[in-house]
Amino acid sequence: MRVCVIGTGYVGLVTGVCLSNIGHDVICVDNNEEKVKTMKAGRSPIYEPGLDELMEKSIAAGKIEFTTDLAKGVNHAEIMFIAVGTPPLPTGESDTRYVEAVARGIGSHLMSGYKVIVNKSTVPIGSGDWVRGIVLDSIKERQEQGGPPCEAEFDVVSNPEFLREGSAIFDTFNTDRIVLGGSNPKALDMMEQLYKPIIDGEYAEEGTPTPIPVVKTDLSSAEMIKYAANSFLATKISFINEVANICDRVGADVTQVAKGIGLDSRIGPKFLQAGIGWGGSCFPKDVSALVHTADDYGYEAQLLKSAVDVNKRQRGMVVEKLQHELKILKGKTIGLLGLTFKPNTDDMRDAPSLNIVEELNRLGAKVKAYDPIVSQSGLRDGMRGTLVETDPDRLADGCDALVLVTDWEQFKSLDYAAMAKSMTQPLVIDGRNFLDREALQAAGFRYVGMGR
């Protein structure tokens, strides 16, 4: 089928590349010229394992094109995805101006045929009708200004994404479900046809149950499914972090507790990793947007607000532990292992490291850091005053303590015995309960975990 994806960010680009890979003809539109130039050259502007290879395959097969020309995309496609950013405003509500701009742009270029406009971006509940209204207004405006008439018909559907950064391609082909929200069965049927190869499991790995279930529902329920899923996962993490904080005080080991409760099929073992909590571009934005929506409708979402509060506090927890161990942090040197909000991504949006760096700077500590991606990428916003090492073995030189901030796999196999020798006092705060406590202690470290 002919597809257009507008907004080639962490979600849009992965969606476009994967759809072109299963045989569709995709045009990816982005208003950032630099990004389009990079993608035309076959390189992805974001770090996502496996994406470059898939992009090259699709480009070689002539199944994908990158452009800033929205009109071209709109008139090529029978299904067009809006996947532009919906970042949080300071108030916590979603900033939907980019979605609005794209919807207006679509309305000004729609000419003929039947089109499905897909909200891929996480938009506030009830936005599907709002997008429809904007497109209709834009068509009307164009005709009032003597523009070409519009013979096109369209429907708006919601097709929320559940992609985790760092495993977005796997999550696309092995998703637990596909959610389609809309009022016109014709539009939902077209979407089902679009995803058919994925639904049938043609690209699924061993163990992914197929056919992949498709949830067809109304617009608002589909939009709520996205918010409820992210909010539940975020709350589950804040739950285990609350338990970890109590474990710290009673001397229990939260990793054992997580194992013991995770074996209950009603709870499940995933998203029970206690530590410095959640960051990234989705959980913080989506939970605060849902809280904001509840407020708008006169309901106080106490549980969600508490999950946000617990999460905010977790970042400060590692600094408190440093203070407990080192007393005065002023003049001390702290080495951060990892900066991104999670491993296998280059995304620094709302990364816990940003708050940790800020707090350590405020207390007068010197900060060094090493991150597998950030150290190479030259990305330094939010890293004011931080010495970003390019060699992990150098990180420990002269440090009074190390803090594991991001659970990058390679941090398991660093030479901690050598690192201990280059530290004034080998202390490690394991912010993700990720390191082997016994191995670190054998290497000469005092090991402090989060709830263990």
- CB nearer to ligand UDX: give 69 or 325: 69
Site string for ligand UDX, 42-81 (x = CB under 6 A): ----------------------------------------
d(CA 74, CA 37) in angstroms, rounded, equals 20
7 counts as binding ligand UDX under rule CB under 6 A: yes
Q: Is the peptide bond before 148 cis (omega within 30 degrees of 0)?
A: no
- CB nearer to ligand UDX: give 101 or 379: 101
Residue among 347, 344, 351, 343 nearest 311 (CA): 351
Coil vs helix vs strand at 243: helix
Residue among 354, 362, 348 nearest 336 (CA): 354
One residue of 47, 66, 81, 162 binding ligand UDX per CB under 6 A: 162
SS (H, E, C) 320-364: HHHHHHHCCCCCCEEEEECCCCCCCCCCCCCCHHHHHHHHHHHCC
- CB nearer to ligand UDX: give 268 or 331: 268
DSSP secondary structure letter of residue 409: G
Q: How far is the CB of 182 from ligand UDX (least distance, A)?
A: 18
| Residue 156, strand partner residues | 117
Token code pair at residue 111: 């000419």
Residue among 308, 273, 270 nearest 292 (CA): 308
Q: How far is the CB of 14 from ligand UDX (least distance, A)?
A: 8
121 counts as binding ligand UDX under rule CB under 6 A: yes
163 counts as binding ligand UDX under rule CB under 6 A: yes
- CB nearer to ligand UDX: give 35 or 368: 35
- To 5 degrees, how large is the angle CA 365–CA 371–CA 377? 115
Q: Please report how the helices 97-109 and 127-144 are oriented relative to each other, as an axis angle in degrees rounded to 10.
A: 40
Q: Which residues are within 8 A (CB) of 180 and not within 5 positions of it... i.e. 6 or more apart?
A: 157, 158, 159, 188, 191, 192, 214, 215, 216, 217, 222
Q: Which of 28, 247, 282, 399 is catalytic?
A: 282
138 counts as binding ligand UDX under rule CB under 6 A: no
One residue of 17, 194, 282, 405 binding ligand UDX per CB under 6 A: 282
277 counts as binding ligand UDX under rule CB under 6 A: yes
- The pair phi, psi for residue 335, each rounded to 5°, is -105, 125
Catalytic annotation on 247? no
| Residues touching ligand UDX, count (CB under 6 A) | 42
Residues 293-352 that bind ligand UDX (CB under 6 A): 341-342
- CB nearer to ligand UDX: give 115 or 342: 342
356 counts as binding ligand UDX under rule CB under 6 A: no
- CB nearer to ligand UDX: give 66 or 341: 341
449 counts as binding ligand UDX under rule CB under 6 A: no
Q: How far is the CB of 32 from ligand UDX (least distance, A)?
A: 4
Q: Which residues are within 8 A (CB) of 115 and not within 5 positions of it... i.e. 6 or more apart?
A: 74, 77, 78, 79, 80, 152, 153, 154, 155
101 counts as binding ligand UDX under rule CB under 6 A: yes
Q: How far is the CB of 418 from ligand UDX (least distance, A)?
A: 28
Contact 358, 317 (CB under 8 A): no
Contact 108, 136 (CB under 8 A): no
30 counts as binding ligand UDX under rule CB under 6 A: yes
d(CA 351, CA 341) in angstroms, rounded, equals 4
Instruction: Identify which range of 9-17, 49-57, 132-140, 172-180 contacts ligand UDX by CB under 6 A.
Output: 9-17
Token code pair at residue 154: 């369209």
Q: How far is the CB of 154 from ligand UDX (least distance, A)?
A: 19
Instruction: Identify which range of 155-163, 292-300, 318-326, 444-452 contacts ligand UDX by CB under 6 A.
Output: 155-163
Contact 236, 272 (CB under 8 A): yes
- CB nearer to ligand UDX: give 98 or 130: 98
d(CA 207, CA 201) in angstroms, rounded, equals 10
- CB nearer to ligand UDX: give 101 or 326: 101
- The pair phi, psi for residue 309, each rounded to 5°, is -65, -45
- CB nearer to ligand UDX: give 286 or 400: 286
Q: How far is the CB of 295 from ligand UDX (least distance, A)?
A: 19
Q: How far is the CB of 270 from ligand UDX (least distance, A)?
A: 7
- To 5 degrees, how large is the angle CA 216–CA 219–CA 225? 70
84 counts as binding ligand UDX under rule CB under 6 A: yes
Token code pair at residue 65: 């094109």
Backbone CA torsion sign across 347, 351, 356, 361: positive
One residue of 5, 9, 93, 291 binding ligand UDX per CB under 6 A: 9
Q: How far is the CB of 120 from ligand UDX (least distance, A)?
A: 6
Q: Please list the active-site residues.
A: 282
Residues near ligand UDX, by CB under 6 A: 6-12, 30-32, 35, 83-86, 98, 101-102, 120-122, 161-165, 230, 233, 237, 271-273, 275, 277-283, 341-342
